[in-house]
Structure 1
Amino acid sequence: MDLENTAALVTGGASGLGEATARALAAAGAKVALLDMNAARAAEVASEIGGIALACNVASAESAEAAVAEARAQHGAARILINCAGIGKSGRVVGKAGPMPLEDFRRVIEVNLIGSFNLIRLMAADAETLPPLADGARGVIVNTASVAAFDGQIGQAAYSASKGGIVGMTLPIARDLARSGIRVCTIAPGIFATPMLRGLPQEVQDSLAASIPFPRRLGQPEEFAALAMHIIANPMLNGETIRLDGAIRMAPK
């Protein structure tokens, strides 16, 4: 797919994996809309890459619909969606203070899983209206899961459930949207140098990096972006979840 002047939506585009992918898309000529709760930081990134920033709560139908409508008005219907918005909240099912608050579990599911589906449904509805490209394609969706979908650690019940849900819906959504020429893939990153991880003490970062078989370092957001860009470019990648983790398999804790 030629990305020159192609409209793209990136959720969580203000930082980390989303920011790196937004920058890669813009460098390839795409018209990028960054959808993020951190509107100020999204605006900074957008100004640097020639995109637009839109405040968006992916877990809200109304907020996402408004953001996608504004992106459509400025850039046209999107052929590319990169779902990177997400949160992580750890907690044991039963901790020292008692059972995990149900709202904590619900919030992670709402943002990570329902939020991803929310943008998928909206982008797909728009992409279906676009004329097919030479190979019949109309669009590509790249979701973000995590190795926690497969190797969830103690305290990651909510996070693993949300990311496992993203993995689980990848193939059926790809099959659903195949008739429209819209491909769907998911990347399951391991331990990456995102702002959240960079905020940890250096000794903790070093310990995490040492647990990765090879390369023995934290993944870089640009490496996630490179895989997202390859998924967009390779028409045979569809309905697949790809681990991007340096062969790590997470221990229980």
Structure 2
Amino acid sequence: MKLDSTISAVITGGASGLGEATARALAEDGVKVAIFDLNEEKGEAVAKELGGVFCNVNVTDEASVDAGFAKARAAIGQERILVNCAGTGNAIKTASRNKETGAIDHFPLDKFNLIIQINLVGTFRCIAKSAAGMMSLDPLEGGERGAMVNTASVAAEDGQIGQAAYSASKGGVVGMTLPIARDLSREGIRVNTILPGIFNTPLLAGAPEKVKQALGAQVPFPPRLGEPAEYAALAKTMITNGYFNGEDVRLDGAIRMAPR
């Protein structure tokens, strides 16, 4: 797919981090962008700067997602690109023992389900609704109608202690990539997924510099945190390379996460 002003894109989680970097990278090539996010102040500012549109969207709420796509399509047209970056995580053991009292507790299922709803179901919800819209478009050269990029995590394969919910949600994103790509293949819609390692995103914004350096030192090469622009570069490659389809690609400096 050639990126220019005739192409529209929806980026979930586009107000910051990996999503913001991707929105900026696409806009640099003239792509019209719609940012789906809950952070209205930041999302509005980024959308205004890029000449796009902000949509206050909660990916766990179907009506909210429907309203977001309706607003985006009215403003910039039917998207040919969807990049799913909306997500979150928590750190809770499956079951644990209080070292002081000896009391035993287990992972609260509502907190487990919340991560699944945001990271996995929310991603699929946006994929399904975007795909239905893309199918209404005329195909481009080569029969292509659209391209999607999802965000998983190396935790899908190297989940650490306390990451059961997060790993399950991201593993689900990896697991559904190929069947969705196959589902949409006859419609000319490609689907790929990136598994980022340790990236310098807002999740680490409040961490002391020494902590960031220690995390970066765990990466074989280069021994540093990944930068959102590097994620965006891979996302653009997945979008522009027409033979890139049904793949799950680690972007992690060769790190393999230790148990903790």
TM over 0.5: yes
Q: Match for 1:121: what amino acid?
A: A
Partner in structure 1 of residue 101 of structure 2: none
SS in 1 for 2:83: strand
1:236 aligns with 2:237: no
- Displacement, 1:195? 1.0
* Matches of 1:17 and 1:199, distance apart in 2: 17
Partner in structure 1 of residue 25 of structure 2: 24
SS in 2 for 1:29: coil
Partners of 1:211 and 1:248 within 8 A in 2 = yes
String of CA shifts for 1:51-106, please: whole Å, max 9, x gaps: 11110001111100110011111111110000000011110011336111111100
Partner in structure 2 of residue 90 of structure 1: 91
Q: Match for 1:86: what amino acid?
A: G
- Displacement, 1:2? 2.0
Q: Match for 1:82: what amino acid?
A: V
TM-score normalized by the length of structure 2:
0.96
Q: 1:158 aligns with which of 165, 188, 191?
A: 165
Q: Match for 1:40: what amino acid?
A: E
Q: 2:179 aligns with which of 157, 161, 172?
A: 172
- Displacement, 1:3? 2.0
Partners of 1:198 and 1:205 within 8 A in 2 = no
Q: 1:145 aligns with which of 152, 156, 166?
A: 152
SS in 2 for 1:10: strand
SS in 2 for 1:54: strand
- Displacement, 1:249? 0.1
Q: 1:194 aligns with which of 195, 201, 210?
A: 201
Partner in structure 1 of residue 44 of structure 2: 43
- The number of residues matched between the two structures is 253
Runs of 4+ in 1 over 3 A off after TM superposition: none
1:9 aligns with 2:16: no
Q: 2:229 aligns with which of 203, 216, 222?
A: 222
Partners of 1:12 and 1:34 within 8 A in 2 = yes
1:248 aligns with 2:249: no
**1:197-208 equivalence runs, <5 A:** 197-208=204-215
Q: More displaced, 111-120 or 93-102?
A: 93-102
Partners of 2:8 and 2:81 within 8 A in 1 = yes
Which runs of 5 or more residues in structure 1 are unaligned? Answer: none
Which runs of 5 or more residues in structure 2 are unaligned? Answer: 99-103
1:134 aligns with 2:135: no
Q: Match for 2:57: what amino acid?
A: C
- Displacement, 1:32? 0.1
SS in 2 for 1:121: helix
TM-score normalized by the length of structure 1:
0.99
SS in 2 for 1:217: coil
* Matches of 2:140 and 2:110, distance apart in 1: 44
- Displacement, 1:30? 0.6
